[in-house]
Amino acid sequence: MNEIWLMIGQRLLLGLLTLFIISVVIFGATELLPGDLARELLGQSATEETLAALREQLGLNDPAPLRYWNWLTGVLQGDFGVSMATKKPISELVGARLGNTLFLALYAAALSVPLSLLLGVLAALWRNSIFDRASNALALTAISFPEFFVAYILVLWLAQTGLFPSMVRITSATTTGDLLYSAFLPALTLTLVVTAHMMRMTRAAIINLLASPYIEMARLKGLSPMRVVLRHAVPNALAPIINVVALNLAYLITGVVVVEVVFVYPGLGQLMIDAVTNRDIAVVQAIALIFASAYVLLNLIADVLSTITNPRLMHRK
Amino acid sequence: MTILLSIIVGLGLFFLVGFAGRTALQAAAPAHHKPMFREMPLTASFGLAVILFYVAVAILAPAIAPFGEGEVLGAQYLPWAAPHYLGTDKLGRDMLTRLIYGARNTVGIAFATTALAFVVGSVLGIWAALVGGRLDQFLSRFVDALMAIPALIFSLLLLTIFGTSVLTLILVIAAVDATRVYRLARSVAQGIVVMDYIEAARLRGEGIWRLIRREILPNAMAPLVAEFGLRFCFVFLSISALSFLGLGIKPPTADWGSMVRENATLITFGDITPLLPAGAIALLTVAVNFVVDWQLHRASGLKE
Amino acid sequence: MEKPVLLTIKGLQIEGRSGDAWHPIVKGVDLTLHKGEVLGLIGESGAGKSTLGLAAMGFARDGCRISGGTIDFDGIDLRTAPEAKRRGLRGKRIAYVAQSAAASFNPAHKLIDQYCEGPVVHGVMSREKAEADAVELYRRMRLPNSEEIGFRYPHQVSGGQLQRAMTAMAMACRPDLIIFDEPTTALDVTTQIEVLAAIRDIVRQFGTAAIYITHDLAVVAQMADRIKVLLRGDEVEEADTRSMLAAPRQDYTRSLWAVRSFARAEQPPATGTPVVSVRNVTAAYGAVDVLKNVSFDIHARRTVAVVGESGSGKSTTARVITGLLPPRKGEVLFNGKVLPPNFKARSREELRQCQMIYQMADTALNPKLRLRELIGRPAEMYLGLRGKALETRIRDLLALIELEPDKYIDRLPSELSGGQKQRIGIARALAAEPQLIICDEVTSALDQIVQEGILKLLNRLQGELNLAYMFITHDLATVKSIADKVVVMQHGAVVERGPKAALFADPKEDYTNLLLSSVPEMDPDWLNRLLAARGGHA
């Protein structure tokens, strides 16, 4: 058992190291610019005074490692600095919106994970049937659609008829029930896109295993197809399936950006797009770091979970 | 009712194009490729036919478009009626014309980006797998770190810093995508490098360049070609998403993603015109995916 | 007195799918099996043995279908019976033991859970009773720690033990019939004995009928009451074991027997400077020494066979000679001159002198290159041949390995049979005009008749071209037929070495003795004699 903890400890350390490198990349990307960041942001017509003021504000006069250190220690204490466009502290801008985005992502995950696992297992069980072929072609189609296309089709079909709202407003008076109702279309959009991916990969993971000799052995022991898949294939497919789920939850994070814009959903994605448009670098860096951390965290969890579901690692010789 | 009707019409068109495409391809294919097309599923022939159609439209755009790409011709948001068969957009430009030019701009930029990402990623990937050791370690750890940042988020970060022009867009997306190609090319090449025939060639005293060119590349082509299709879909969708967000290809260049963005308000009035460019994106991606799926299926089937 | 009939197969036809077309795998085979009888099914790869064995359970693999004939198991027609009924028989009345137990046990469950699954699902006994029964059968299969071994996961148990645990599992419902599909093929010879003995005993104890599938005649001679020979989906002949061994009626059967009879005369010990000389080599992967102080010489026109079981270090020795694994201590001499330890430091001339032929021709030949380039490249590189001269040389080499140049020169490896691919491997080695050829298990993946062709070819070439061979193999029959000198290895060290005849006649070391005596012989009484000689059981 100690070896398992050691392995998990190693993964955690590796995760921390990755986060550190990411923070360097995100911070250091601004250094890649050939010229001066302040001039790049303000344009050629800017006066020397405004440039100097901006440099002072961004701390551009300090050496890069010092600026990185100040930024990192700030971030670790929840202080991301000040937005250039709105002059407000970034943590304030991000705070409420982070909750909204997490809510949307979890909402979509709660719908898509069970649905896609069920569909994936069924497609593997009935492979080459009409159900399998149809669901495969449909999934391939759904994967190919840009998110905004799916979103607008849903708006056209479900919001035009007045069934669901096409815009999401969140105030302090909004209850969870209201939120579940009004965020249904964005969540459904994400669900459709992600489910297709997850279903296909789940199916592939299981079918990959169905060719193994121990599956043939299980069939030759006279077990029913359902028992063969559930008891003999699924336990061995857990590690790949966990990775599939993690990969797609991570994908949700990216998908959220476009969907939030379509449905005017007050989340981090909206904020990020506004910040990119205004070239409000500090805000973009902060949100990029948050998204990347969530991504790393998800992969870390998947890594640890697939380690503990592997009997070869759990039960050493 | 309309939903049902559109599904029926869609399926009908799918089968029609699929059958017609397969028949045409079989007739046109050289003799030794005919069996491949005979066993082709309907989805794949549909995909191939659609891809060929897009390529034709992109090449012939100036000849078949009724108006100029950026020409302002009349009132904004005109309904579907001659001479503006698909109406006009919010600046009064002809929708059909811009859709046709979009094939050229959007698909062309996506293709150039994928090609760039592919050359850089696959050369580095195969090189790392073959040489191994420190070089491989360094490149792979670096790529791992870059890949730990979600692709769209990383692109957004880079676009903030470098600004949004078509050239930076191509470079940024290609850089982000090259990491994914690197990963695949490296793992494919690693599978080949452990083969006895590579060991035999090394013991013979062959140089690196010959090993890559004669021993590895011919065996890595099939997965790399399939990956090219998948990467193209991904790049195409990414660029469209960025354009839709107002950060990609900028007006007045006709581009499908930004066309959806510019005219999105119409949707709330039940007008489907803005969905046409979105549909054009979806259709091409579906087509490429169908063909790739078929190729992957063929490759895996032939192996056993 | 004849026992009642258990299984009758008549005119069985099975087809396999390739692309859209179906081609026959089994072409109208009849088979009758009585209760408690063991039938040996023998044939080379592609004979349809496994397919036929599975059909006896009413089962066809994905991509196969039973297209004709009848399968009658104890009055039940397995072709027409509903799937639920067939499922009720499988594992309960007809059980299966697969070739690779390591791959056929589910890695996610403990052995005993997999054992109990059959009896419980089929409603034969309760879980508690099944567990107790498992321990009893493990004991009868002579598994060590029979009380607790079931509570391990498959990866925690060795290959030979897993194979016995799988046989125990097949016995769980006390079936009437067990299909053994090459159960010992993946095992080392010394392990094989224990498994063979255990399987034979338990089948006899319970009076179970069995179909024993193998490509190894000597093994089937120990196990079966009757033998049926198959060739490309057709029956060649069938007879009881002793008369089949004594007097095979068909030419094909006789040719199978004859393979073992090829042997070249042992050459007298050579003198002078050896072509290659391995001196006190110790080599390691990481911190673990996998070779310990290994030394031997090989002379021109001589064949040295390096023999050992898996993990003995024989292939590692080849990697040291070729320079892929520089040794930690010791050196390799070529014609009396020390070779640089790493191949990257060797000159082109040094590389040319030592060529290698691999076990799996499929992975040793680049599948995308035509024979012209595969064979021509070494000649072009080392000997500087170009254009006409190169073309002539390639054609000469093809003729030398007995392949018609005009027909084969532009083919891809995928357009050749297994034996032809191995010949191309030989031609590629010859193209460099080397002095030493290392043959790494070159015949192991081939059918016996094809093996014989390859061995004869290598033997002829040695005489014509003055070659020295290092023959790495685990197969002692190959050693007997081709070696002059034998080096026996175990756990990375040389146990014993000497001229072939002397070593086989009078092995000095216990391990050599164990290894030699474990090789099955055609005599049906061989296993009994061996077990008696070793005192009880292995």
B248 pLDDT higher than 90: no
CA separation, residue C286 to residues B199, B303, C289, C292 (Å): 20, 35, 8, 14
Amino acid at C286: G
Does C106 contact A218 at a Cβ distance shorter than 8 Å? Answer: yes
Which residue would you say has higher pLDDT here, B231 or B16?
A: B231
Mean pLDDT, chain A, whole residue set: 84
Is B200's CB within 8 Å of C19's CB?
no
Burial of C287 (0-12, 13-18, 19+ CB in 10 A): exposed
Helix or strand holding residue C37 (H, E): none
C-beta of residue A284 within 8 angstroms of C-beta of residue A84 = no
Closest residue to B152, CB basis, from A25, A257, A277: A257
Q: Which two tokens stand for residue A307?
A: 């380690």
Nearest CA in chain C to A317: C156
Min Cα separation C20/chain B (Å): 8
CB contact under 8 A, A222 and C104: no
Please give the average per-residue pLDDT across C203-231, as a whole number. 90
For residue C489, report the phi and psi dihedrals to the nearest 5 degrees: -120, 150
Residue B29's CB is within 10 A of a number of other CB atoms, namely 14
Q: What is the pLDDT of residue A255?
A: 79
Sort out which chain B residues have CB atoms less than 8 A from A141's CB and list them: 282, 286
Distance from CA of B216 to the nearest CA of C (A): 9
Cβ of residue A235 closer than 8 Å to a chain C Cβ: yes
Q: How many CB atoms within 10 Å of residue A129? A: 12
| A positions 106-165 inside 8 Å of B (CB) | 137, 140-141, 143-149, 152-153, 155-157, 159-160
| pTM as predicted | 0.81
Quote the crossing angle between the two packed helices A234-262 and B151-162, to the nearest 10°. 40
For position B304, what pLDDT does the model report?
34
C152 contacts on A by Cβ (under 8 Å): 315
Q: How confident is the model at residue C347 (pLDDT cuts 50, 70, 90)?
A: very high
Report pLDDT for C427. 94
At B22 the pLDDT is: 76
> Which residue has tokens 């979970």?
A305
Residues C222-261: tens digit of each pLDDT: 989 999 999 888 888 888 988 888 888 888 888 777 655 6
Three-state DSSP state, B39: coil
Helix, strand, coil percent content, chain C, rounded in steps of 5: 40, 25, 35
What is the overall mean pLDDT for chain C? 88
> What string of H, E and C letters represents the secondary structure of C306-369?
EECCCCCCHHHHHHHHHCCCCCCEEEEEECCEECCCCHHHCCHHHHHHEEEECCCHHHHCCCCC
What is the structure's pLDDT at C259? Answer: 57
At residue B186, the 3 state secondary structure works out as helix
CA distances from C245 to B92, C23, C249, C253 (A): 94, 33, 10, 9
pLDDT-derived band of residue C33, with 50, 70 and 90 as boundaries?
A: very high
Q: What chains are in contact with B, requiring at least 3 Cβ pairs below 8 Å?
A: A, C
- C368: nearest CB among B39, B206, B219: B219
Tokens 């070529």 locate to: C334
| Two tokens, residue B107 | 């698909």
Residue C524 pLDDT exceeds 50:
yes
Give phi and psi for C519, each to the nearest 5: -75, 120
User: Residue C410: is its pLDDT beyond 60?
Assistant: yes
Which residues sit opposite C228 in a β-bridge?
A: C41, C238
pLDDT at C114: 93
Q: Which residues of B touch A296 (CB under 8 A)?
A: 148
Tokens 């691919």, residue located: C421
CA distance to partner chain A, nearest, from residue B130 (Å): 26
Mean of per-residue pLDDT scores for chain B: 84
C contact test, residue of B38, B130, B188, B203 with most C CBs within 10 A: B203
pLDDT for C482 equals 87
Burial class (CB in 10 A: 0-12, 13-18, 19+), A242: buried
CB contact under 8 A, B274 and A166: no
Of the partner residues B43, B161, B282, the one whose CB lies closest to the CB of residue A33: B161
Tokens for C99?
Answer: 């070739």
Cβ of A292 and B274 within 8 Å? Answer: no
| CA-closest candidate to residue A255, choices A142, A171, A89 | A142
Which residue of C357, C368, C373, C439 is the best one to mutate when testing the B interface, meaning the one whose CB has the most B CBs within 10 A? C368
Q: Quick check: A32 and B290 CB within 8 A?
A: no
pLDDT value for B36: 67
CA distance B165 to B248: 7
Test A149 with B3 for CB contact under 8 angstroms. no
* C348: chain B residues, CB-CB within 8 Å: 205
CATH of B40-300, one of 1.10.3720.10, 3.50.50.60, 3.90.1150.10, 3.40.50.720: 1.10.3720.10
Give the integer Cα–Cα distance in Å for C527 and C222: 6
Cβ-defined contact of C107 to A312 (cutoff 8 Å): yes
pLDDT of residue A35: 63
Distance CA A105, CA A253 (A): 7
Q: Which residue type sits at C1?
A: M
Measured between alpha carbons, how far is A90 from A281 in angstroms, rounded to an integer? Answer: 11
d(CA A140, CA A133): 11
CA distance A97 to B151: 21
The DSSP bridge partners found for residue C78 are none
Rounded distance, CA A266 to CA A221, Å? 56
Q: Which chains touch A (3 or more CB pairs under 8 A)?
A: B, C
pLDDT value of position C425: 93
∠ CA(B26), CA(B27), CA(B33), 5° rounding?
A: 50
Q: Residue C175 — pLDDT band, cuts 50, 70, 90?
A: very high
Residue A316 pLDDT level (bands cut at 50, 70, 90): low
Name the CA radius of gyration of chain A, rounded: 24
Helix, strand, coil share (%) of chain B residues, nearest 5: 80, 0, 20
Closest among A156, A141, A157 to A193, alpha carbons compared: A141
Contacts of residue A316 in chain C, CB cutoff 8 Å?
Answer: 156
Q: What angle do CA C178, C179, C182 make, to 5 degrees?
A: 135
Instruction: Say which of A137, A144, A153 has its CB closest to residue B233.
Output: A144
How high is the pLDDT of residue B61? 83
Q: Tell me how many residue pairs between chain B and chain C have CB atoms under 8 A apart.
A: 45
Q: Which two tokens stand for residue B229?
A: 């299709």
In this predicted structure, the answer to whether residue C538 has a pLDDT above a threshold of 50 is no
pLDDT per residue over A237-278, tens digit each? 888 888 888 888 888 877 788 999 988 888 899 899 988 888
Burial B60-71 (b: 16+ CB within 10 A, else e): ebeeebebebeb
Residue C499: what are its φ and ψ, rounded to 5°? -60, 145
Q: How far is C80 from chain A (nearest CA, A)?
A: 17
pLDDT per residue as tens digits for the range B255-295: 898 888 888 888 777 788 888 899 999 999 999 988 888 88
**Which residues of chain C lie closer than 8 angstroms to A213, CB-CB?**
98, 100, 103-104
Answer yes or no: is pLDDT of C1 > 60: no
- 3-class secondary structure, B302: helix
How far is CA C4 from its chain centroid? 35
**High-pLDDT (> 70) share of chain B, %:** 93
Q: Where are the domains of chain B?
A: 40-300
Please state the rounded mean pLDDT for residues A5-27. 86
- Chain A hits for B160, Cβ within 8 Å: 275-276, 279-281, 284
Q: How far is CA C220 from the centre of its chain?
A: 14
What distance, in Å, lies between the first and last C-alpha atoms of chain A? 12
- Could you read off the pLDDT of A135-166 as tens digits, one per residue? 888 888 888 889 899 888 888 888 777 777 77
Nearest residue of C to residue B207, measured between CA atoms = C344
Q: In the numeric block, which tokens belong to residue B168?
A: 């930076």
Distance CA B265, CA B202 (A): 63
How are beta strands C485-490 and C177-181 bridged, if at all? unpaired
Scanning A237-276 for CB atoms below 8 A from B yields: 250-251, 253-254, 257-258, 261-262, 272-273, 275-276
In this predicted structure, the answer to whether residue A197 has a pLDDT above a threshold of 90 is no
pLDDT of residue A235: 87
Using the beta-carbon criterion (under 8 Å), do C106 and A222 form an inter-chain contact?
Answer: no
Binary contact (A222, C103; C-beta < 8 A): no
Q: Mind listing the pLDDT tens digit for each residue in C266-318?
A: 778 788 889 999 999 999 888 888 899 999 999 999 999 999 888 888 999 99
B-chain residue closest to C440, CA distance: B196
- Contact list in A for residue C92 (CB cut-off 8 A) is 222
Q: Tell if the CB–CB gap between B214 and C369 is shorter than 8 Å.
A: yes
DSSP state string for C262-284:
--PPPPPPP-SS-SEEEEEEEEE
Give dist(CA B231, CA C295) in Å, integer: 54
Please tell me the predicted confidence (pLDDT) of residue C345. Answer: 93
Q: Is residue A237 less than 8 Å (CB to CB) from chain C? A: no
Q: C183: alpha, beta or left, given left = phi > 0 and alpha = psi -120 to 50?
A: alpha
Q: What percent of chain C has pLDDT over 70?
A: 98
Judging contacts by C-beta atoms under 8 Å, the chain B residues touching residue C368 are 218-219
pLDDT tens, C85-131? 899 999 899 999 998 888 899 998 999 999 999 999 998 899 999 99
| C-beta atoms of B203 and C358 within 8 A | no
Q: Which residue has the tokens 């969870």?
A: A176
CA C455 from chain center: how many Å?
Answer: 16
Q: Kindly state the average pLDDT of the residues C148-164.
A: 88
Question: Taking CB atoms and an 8 Å limit, are A149 and B257 in contact across chains?
Answer: no
Q: C101: which chain A residues are within 8 Å (Cβ-Cβ)?
A: none
Tell me how long chain B is.
304
Nearest CB to C365 within list B197, B199, B206: B197
B149–A292 CB contact, under 8 Å: yes
Helix (H) and strand (E) counts in chain A: 15, 0
What pLDDT, in 10s, does the model give residues A200-236? 888 888 888 888 889 999 999 999 888 898 899 888 8
The residue count for chain C: 538
Three-state SS string across B42-94, please?
Answer: HHHHHHHHHHHHHHHHHHHHHHHCCCCCCCCCCCCCCCCECCECCCECCCCCE
Beta carbons of C40 and C241 less than 8 angstroms apart = yes
Tokens, residue B85? 């068969």
Q: How far is B228 from chain C (nearest CA, A)?
A: 21
Residues in C closer than 8 angstroms to A232, CB to CB, are 106, 108
User: If you measure CA to CA, which chain C residue comes closest to B36?
Assistant: C19
Rg for chain B (alpha carbons), in Å? 22
The DSSP element (H or E) to which C289 belongs, if any, is strand C288-298
**Which chains reach chain C with 3 or more Cβ–Cβ distances below 8 angstroms?**
A, B
Q: Is B35's pLDDT higher than 70? A: no
Does A224 contact chain C (CB < 8 Å)? yes
Q: What are phi and psi of C105, to 5 degrees?
A: -90, 140
Question: B267: closest CA among C477, A160, C424?
Answer: A160
Q: Which residue of A has its CA nearest to C116?
A: A221
Q: What is the pLDDT of residue A317?
A: 58
Which is it for strands C288-298 and C276-285: parallel, antiparallel or unpaired?
Answer: antiparallel
Give me the count of residues in chain A: 317
> A195: part of which helix (H) or strand (E)?
helix A184-210
CB nearest C367 (choices: B202, B203, B219) = B219
ipTM of the complex, rounded to two decimals: 0.83
Higher pLDDT, B302 or C463: C463
